[in-house]
Amino acid sequence: MSEESPANQAINSLADIKEYRGMLSWITSVDHKQIGIMYIVSSFIFFLVGLGLALAMRIQLMVPVSHFMSPGTYNQIFTMHGTTMVFLMAMPLLFGFSVYFVPLMIGARDMAFPRLNALGYWLYLFGALMMYFSFVAGGAPDAGWFSYAPLTERGYSSSLGIDYWALSLLVMGAGSVATGINLIVTVLTLRTPGMTLTRTPLFVWMIFFNAFLVILALPALNAALVMILADRQLNAHFFSPAHGGSALLWQNYFWLFGHPEVYILVLPAFGVISEVIPVFSRKVIYGYGFLAASTVAIAFLSYGVWIHHMFATGMSYVILYVFAGSSMLIAIPTGIKIFNWIATMWGGSIRFTTAMLFATAFLIQFTVGGLSGVAFAAIPIDWQLTDSYFVVAHIHYVLLGGTLFAMFAGIYYWFPKVTGRMLSEKIGKLHFWLMVLGFNGTFFGMHLLGVAGMPRRAYTYLDRPPLGTLHLISSLFAFVLALAIFVFLWNVVRSLRKGEVAGDNPWGGWTLEWATTSPPPMENFAQVPPVHGRRPLWDLAHKKEGGQP
Amino acid sequence: MIPSLIVVVLLALTARTMHLVNPPVGIRTPNVIVTAHQWWWAYHYPQSGVVTANELHMPVGSNWLLGIESADVIHDFWVPDLGAKMDAIPGHPNVLWIQPRQAGTYLGTCAEYCGCEHALMGIRVIVQPPEEFEAWQQSQLRVPAKPSGVEAERGAQLFEERTCMNCHTIAGTKAKGTVGPDLTHVGDRQTLGSGAILNTLDQLTNWIMDPQTIKPGCNMPSLKLTESQAHDIAIYLESLK
């Protein structure tokens, strides 16, 4: 469409209408970019809250037999830390990236269902606020982020915390399923002409599979949440062994959701890495087909490994063998991905921008987390180390050293597109190195704590070497990690005001989002470039017509 | 191809080690039944009938089968130096093999988050030479002597008058409560409150005065006793050997 077309004039003149300016334009928005930004900003606010809770725990654990806080307070804090980081921070952050970039990368005007998209965000936000409202409504939830029954039954937990926990997760879960469906339909129906599925960027592939994981896994959690609410409010006894219920039933439901959930939190990170590494290595991604297909394998296997969270519950050995085998198998498609990324970097002309540094650190730290995961699949090792600090180290290497580092790679990569300004590379590198130091300093020692016999979720510990020393080291580095996050915030604030103007395509990216202006106009593209292959912008620059996919 | 082989080898090693450290059991009666409570451990030796709490005694060298059960929520029995851990799940009894090769004291803890005082739910395994263990077992079966001395007698009376005996058992007396740990031979134990504090007269007095300052949130209430009353009860309890 040309600049002078009546349609374009109509869009430009929208800025004159009150609803399209200021706060009101955000609250009433059904624009995927505004909703994406709202997701990302909200999740970052909850990230800061979760970080504050983590620091409070690290202060409590700095010395043995500390009286900094009461056990009741600590238990609420560790529960809210886990719940916040998984459901209020990581998932919405990934959804934010998904709804912002999927339409742009496939050359679409918006999501398939813009209003459903807005509904998903508002359900998330109000669900999250309801979760935090529990603090003033008689006590936050205090049974851990996976809330094992029967500790969550009213007889053992009389405050309203668990009710708030279950209700707000239900609200957010409904929003997540809606967003998942929306993403699937968007990818299937709104790809620009010429973009066949095999030409779709890998980030979009990962989000596409991830959306299937979301809509198939969350119903298991939602069902279990309804059951625990029925137990608490209507004396239903689903999970109460004293009345004929089963304590293990909850664990089966929760992890049937919970293990796919881990991959829900990791696949989008794989997507970001698959975009960042080729662009900064100046090479085509190695093994596009393998990267996409191994994702199918991971998604499929992720539904068949949940018992590995329950190896110490005394199940029959036949069940244990099957789930040990499936848990080890999942390392193969994940390993394929790691080698594909390394092969992409191999021989490339690598530019170590901040985004690339985060992507590289992701590769190393995620591999460490993956290897400790394989260790857990070997059941006798799991019998010794499960429920210890080794698990705490493992989950943080995967989700913080893995997912969060990848998301920072994505933020440094796409910030210019979203805001029109570059983040400072100098401050970015300071942020990166502080974060590597803080993260590894905080969590590496936790492997050793687990081996030394430190159980997780304990509000204190008796003075028995080497626990005190290891906890103290971990606590000190946790403040370095927090400092790194504040350096990042400073970078964002500074760059928003006086960052270098980015231009359309500062990194020489190849995917469609770089073809439009930064930030993209409301309609996304004045004209979508023709797509003849996987790298439309490269094709365009090299005047290639009808190239191979 | 090669990764699949690695998986097969790992799986075979896993199965082999599982059978070595925790072979499946038929209908064998466990040597000790461990029952986890919020936030302490009860031990029952079915062969001899001994009942004790928080400190598990066992003979060195024997391969013992522990029955792992729970009276309330899910807990987990974990003594890192003695082997695997096992969940204590209400309505779902489990078993665990352990075989200590050296005499000594081994420390463990509850590994599954079980509520407020999860952190202070310590396990102390005292591994003894067989003859020493046998002597300990015999001593546990004896009914403790009647309290002697004015303070201990007053303590025994207070134990019955106040609500203590609603929750605790002391063999040979009217106290038959089962909510809290069995106190028949509490004077013999090294620690109190599931390993929270050492078992001394002063510490026990403090505990009786106000358990909530030592183990906040635990199920033993503050009984509003005077210091001399608490002291008398402590003298009485320490005499139970």
If you average pLDDT over every residue of chain B, what do you get?
94
Co-location of A179 and A317 in the same domain: yes
Residue with tokens 């980081």: A85
Q: Domain tally for chain A?
A: 2
CB contact set of A246 (below 8 Å; sequence gap of 6+): A238, A239, B91, B92
Co-location of A8 and A83 in the same domain: no
Sheet harboring B94-98: ordered strands across?
B51-53, B40-44, B32-37, B64-70, B94-98
pLDDT at A13: 53
Asked if the domains B28-141 and B150-238 are classified in one and the same CATH topology, the answer is yes
Tell me which residue in B68, B80, B117 faces A453 most closely, judged by beta carbons: B80
Res. A22: pLDDT tops 90? no
Question: pTM for this structure?
Answer: 0.93
Q: How far is A157 from chain B (nearest CA, A)?
A: 9
pLDDT at B241: 86
Provide, as residue numbers in chain B, all residues whose Cβ is less than 8 Å from the Cβ of A453.
Answer: 78, 80-81, 107-109
Co-location of A274 and A408 in the same domain: yes
pLDDT tens readout for residues A478-518: 999 999 999 999 999 999 999 999 999 999 999 999 999 99
pLDDT at A545: 52
pLDDT tens readout for residues A108-154: 999 999 999 999 999 999 999 999 999 999 889 999 999 999 999 99
Token digits of residue B95: 């078993």
pLDDT at B129: 97
pLDDT tens readout for residues A182-213: 999 999 999 999 999 999 999 999 999 999 99
Q: Which of A459, A463, A471 to mutate to test the interface with B (most CBs of B within 10 A)?
A: A459
Asked if B10 has any chain A CB less than 8 Å from its own CB, the reply is: yes
Asked if B61 has any chain A CB less than 8 Å from its own CB, the reply is: no
For B150-238, CATH number? 2.60.40.420
Co-location of A314 and A413 in the same domain: yes
What is the chain B residue with the closest CA to A383?
B84
pLDDT at B120: 95
Kindly give the parts of chain B with pLDDT less than 50: none
pLDDT at B4: 87
* H or E segment to which residue B105 belongs: strand B104-110
Res. A9: pLDDT tops 80? no
Co-location of A367 and A439 in the same domain: yes
Provide, as residue numbers in chain A, all residues whose Cβ is less than 8 Å from the Cβ of B17.
Answer: 378-380
Q: Which of A246, A320, A387 to mutate to test the interface with B (most CBs of B within 10 A)?
A: A387
Q: Would the CB atoms of A321 and B15 count as touching at under 8 Å? A: yes
Provide, as residue numbers in chain B, all residues whose Cβ is less than 8 Å from the Cβ of A380.
Answer: 14, 17-18, 21-22, 84
Co-location of A240 and A281 in the same domain: yes
**Residue A548 domain-assigned?**
no
Q: Would the CB atoms of A312 and B7 count as touching at under 8 Å? A: no
pLDDT at A549: 44
Dist. CA B94–CA B68, nearest whole Å: 5
Tell me which long-range contacts B20-24 makes (C-beta under 8 A, separation of at least 24).
B21/A380, B21/A383, B21/B83, B21/B84, B21/B97, B22/A380, B22/A383, B22/B83, B22/B84, B22/B96, B22/B97, B23/B97, B24/A317
For residue A19, what pLDDT band results from cuts at 50, 70 and 90?
low
* Distance (Å) of CA A334 to CA A395, B44, B126: 16, 47, 45
Dist. CA A436–CA A428, nearest whole Å: 12
Q: Would the CB atoms of A383 and B22 count as touching at under 8 Å? A: yes
If you average pLDDT over every residue of chain A, what do you get?
93
State the CATH number of the domain containing residue A468: 1.20.210.10
Q: Is B98 helix (H, G, I), strand (E, B) or coil?
A: strand
Res. A4: pLDDT tops 50? no
pLDDT tens readout for residues B106-137: 999 999 999 999 999 999 999 999 999 999 99
What range defines the domain where residue A14 resides? Answer: 1-30
Res. A393: pLDDT tops 50? yes
Listed by start position, the domains of chain B span 28-141, 150-238
Q: Would the CB atoms of A151 and B73 count as touching at under 8 Å? A: yes
Co-location of A10 and A129 in the same domain: no
Co-location of A299 and A334 in the same domain: yes
* Distance (Å) of CA A71 to CA A46, A476, B54, B61, B221: 23, 22, 21, 38, 16
% of chain A at pLDDT higher than 90: 90
pLDDT at A2: 43
What is the chain A residue with the closest CA to B1?
A332
Co-location of A226 and A313 in the same domain: yes
Tell me which residue in B14, B73, B86 faces A312 most closely, judged by beta carbons: B86
Asked if B211 has any chain A CB less than 8 Å from its own CB, the reply is: no
What is the chain A residue with the closest CA to B79?
A453
Co-location of A15 and A55 in the same domain: no
CATH architecture of B28-141: Sandwich (2.60)
* H or E segment to which residue A262 belongs: helix A247-281
Dist. CA A269–CA A404, nearest whole Å: 8
pLDDT tens readout for residues A286-301: 999 999 999 999 999 9
Quote the ipTM score: 0.94
% of chain A at pLDDT higher than 70: 95
CB contact set of A331 (below 8 Å; sequence gap of 6+): A370, A373, A374, A377, B3, B7
Asked if B125 has any chain A CB less than 8 Å from its own CB, the reply is: no
Q: How far is B155 from chain A (nearest CA, A)?
A: 31
pLDDT tens readout for residues A514-532: 999 999 998 999 989 999 9
pLDDT at A542: 85
pLDDT tens readout for residues A423-466: 999 999 999 999 999 999 999 999 999 999 999 999 999 998 89
Q: Would the CB atoms of B74 and A241 count as touching at under 8 Å? A: no
Co-location of A150 and A225 in the same domain: yes
**Residue A549 domain-assigned?**
no
Tell me which residue in B84, B110, B119 faces A380 most closely, judged by beta carbons: B84
Co-location of A22 and A40 in the same domain: no
Query: Which of A246, A310, A84, A194 lies closest to B85, judged by CA?
Result: A310
pLDDT at A3: 45
pLDDT tens readout for residues A226-277: 999 999 999 999 999 989 999 999 999 999 999 999 999 999 999 999 999 9
Q: Which of B4, B5, B8, B74 to mutate to test the interface with A (most CBs of A within 10 A)?
A: B74
What is the chain A residue with the closest CA to B20?
A380
